[in-house]
């Protein structure tokens, strides 16, 4: 890099950081001519995060990024302070305060009898109130980085969509982002780099909407029924009561039994067309355990999930316990009905 290019870069940096341009340019450019080595690791920062990096080959990257120079020799680049600046130096747990004499950082440290060790670093922070210098084997600073970044996927709930469904409403695109990182150096090496903040980004998020609405309840299969559904139930203290159907018909009952209902049809599972009481099977014929429900009992049956079987008569047997077996015309209806909990109103 030419001395003219370096001066141009230094001008913007030192103008923003409040450092004497002329003296700094002389010191730095002279060092470029004399050596490619430095006396320490310099971390240079300012109130606006401006910084400059000078590497071992005398190259200066763009000023937007933080700059470190790692030393391995006796001479190197130094920063010149203007006259009268308040300088605070921290080293080995002690704090020193002085005013600069239009001298370099190196001269300021020498005047205070501070000599950085081989693995110590010099952190230079330009603040509104002056210059803070930290000499330590462990230093941290914030670095402004411009980098490529992949797009992120953002998931957004949509209450109008059914659970388990999703759709892409915006495709993503990679971009460039400007970010702040916290960087930690120890004993002459970078040991940690932590993302702190994103300042801006040209990446475009991929937006995916997912459904939160409960799935629609399946419509119950249509089953033959002898009656309309129940409109209301009035119950007496002894368990008896009156069913009022949607049609307006009223049915008196003596009790209600919670039972398990299954389904059967003639020609399957050994079932015949003639019942145990000698009647012909039809919708409304129910097989029961006659010890639980006597044969000939009239009933009104409705499942707990709302399927109305309606009025029926206990005319057949073949089940045991607290169960009723309902007759349907087809095997398919039996399969669709399956096994369901139900209420059996014993009619008077």
Strands (E), the chain: 41-45, 68-69, 86-91, 94-99, 121-126, 131-136, 138-149, 153-162, 166-170, 175-186, 189-201, 206-213, 230-235, 241-245, 250-264, 285-288, 298-303, 308-316, 323-327, 340-347
Amino acid 60: pLDDT: 32
Q: pLDDT by residue (tens digit) across 259-311?
A: 999 999 998 877 888 998 999 999 999 999 999 999 999 999 999 998 999 99
215 compared with 59, residue with greater pLDDT: 215
In this predicted structure, what is the pLDDT of residue 223?
67
By three-state DSSP, how is residue 198 classified?
strand
What stretch(es) of the chain map to CATH 2.20.230? Answer: 143-213
Give me the residues paired with residue 289 across strands.
Answer: none
SS3 state of residue 279 = coil
Look up residue 13 and give its two tokens: 């940096």
Could you tell me how many residues make up the chain? 348
pLDDT of 219-239, one tens digit each?
Answer: 555 666 667 889 999 999 999
CA dist list (Å): 120 to 43, 189, 210, 240? 11, 10, 54, 95
The confidence score (pLDDT) of residue 137 equals: 80
CATH-assigned architecture of domain 143-213: Single Sheet (2.20)
Contacts of 235 (CB under 8 A, 6+ apart): 241
Q: What is the pLDDT of residues 82-130, one digit of tens each?
A: 788 899 999 988 999 999 888 877 788 889 998 877 777 777 777 778 8
- The alpha carbon of 347 is separated from its chain's Cα centroid by a whole number of angstroms, namely 58
- How many Cβ atoms are within 10 Å of 332's Cβ, its own excluded? 11
Looking at residue 84, what is its pLDDT? 87
Residue 105's pLDDT is 79
pTM of the complete model beyond 0.85: no
Count Cβ atoms within 10 A of the Cβ of residue 327 and give its class: 0-12 exposed, 13-18 middle, 19 or more buried: buried
Q: Which tokens hold the place of 212?
A: 């939160």
Distance CA 17, CA 125 (A): 9
Tell me the per-residue pLDDT of 301-314, one tens digit each, with 9 for 90 and over.
999 998 999 999 99
20-54 tens-digit pLDDT = 322 232 233 223 222 233 334 455 544 343 333 33
**Coil, strand, or helix at residue 34?**
helix
What SS3 state is found at 298?
A: strand
Q: How far apart are CA 169 and CA 150, in angstroms?
A: 18
Residue 9's closest CA among 47, 35, 44, 38? Answer: 44
> CATH 2.40.40.10 region(s) of the chain?
230-347
Residues 230-347, CATH architecture: Beta Barrel (2.40)
pLDDT at 166: 95
Reported as a single tens digit per residue, the pLDDT across 137-190 is 887 777 788 899 999 999 999 999 999 999 999 999 999 999 888 888 787 678
């Amino acid at each position: 890099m030419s001395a003219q290019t370096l001066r141009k870069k230094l001008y913007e940096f030192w103008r923003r950081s409040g450092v004497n341009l002329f003296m700094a340019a002389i010191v730095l450019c002279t060092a470029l001519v004399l050596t490619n080595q430095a006396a320490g690791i310099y971390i240079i920062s300012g109130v606006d995060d401006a910084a400059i990096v000078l590497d071992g080959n005398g190259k200066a990257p763009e000023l937007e990024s933080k700059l470190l120079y790692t030393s391995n020799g006796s001479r190197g680049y130094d920063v010149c302070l203007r006259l009268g600046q308040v300088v605070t130096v921290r080293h080995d747990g002690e704090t020193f305060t002085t005013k600069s004499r239009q001298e370099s950082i190196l001269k300021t440290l020498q005047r205070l009898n501070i000599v950085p060790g081989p693995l110590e670093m010099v952190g230079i922070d330009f603040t509104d109130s002056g210059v803070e210098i930290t000499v330590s084997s462990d230093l941290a600073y914030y670095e402004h980085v411009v980098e490529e970044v992949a797009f992120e996927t953002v998931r957004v709930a949509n209450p109008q969509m059914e659970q388990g469904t999703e759709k892409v409403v915006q495709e993503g695109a990679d971009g460039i982002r400007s970010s702040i990182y916290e960087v930690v150096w120890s004993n002459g090496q970078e040991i940690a780099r932590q993302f702190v903040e994103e300042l801006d980004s040209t990446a475009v998020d991929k937006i995916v909407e997912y459904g939160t609405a409960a799935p629609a309840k399946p419509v119950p299969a249509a089953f033959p029924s002898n009656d309309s559904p129940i409109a209301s139930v009035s119950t007496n203290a002894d368990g008896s009561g009156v069913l009022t159907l949607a049609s307006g018909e009223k049915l008196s009952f003596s009790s209600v039994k919670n039972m398990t209902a299954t389904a059967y049809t003639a020609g399957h599972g050994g079932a015949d067309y003639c019942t145990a009481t000698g009647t012909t099977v039809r919708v409304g014929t129910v097989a029961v355990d006659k010890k639980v429900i006597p044969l000939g009992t009239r009933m009104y049956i409705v499942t707990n999930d709302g399927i109305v079987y309606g009025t029926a008569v206990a005319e057949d047997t073949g089940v045991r316990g607290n169960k009723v077996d309902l007759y349907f015309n087809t095997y398919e209806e039996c399969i669709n009905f399956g096994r369901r909990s139900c209420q059996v109103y014993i009619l008077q």
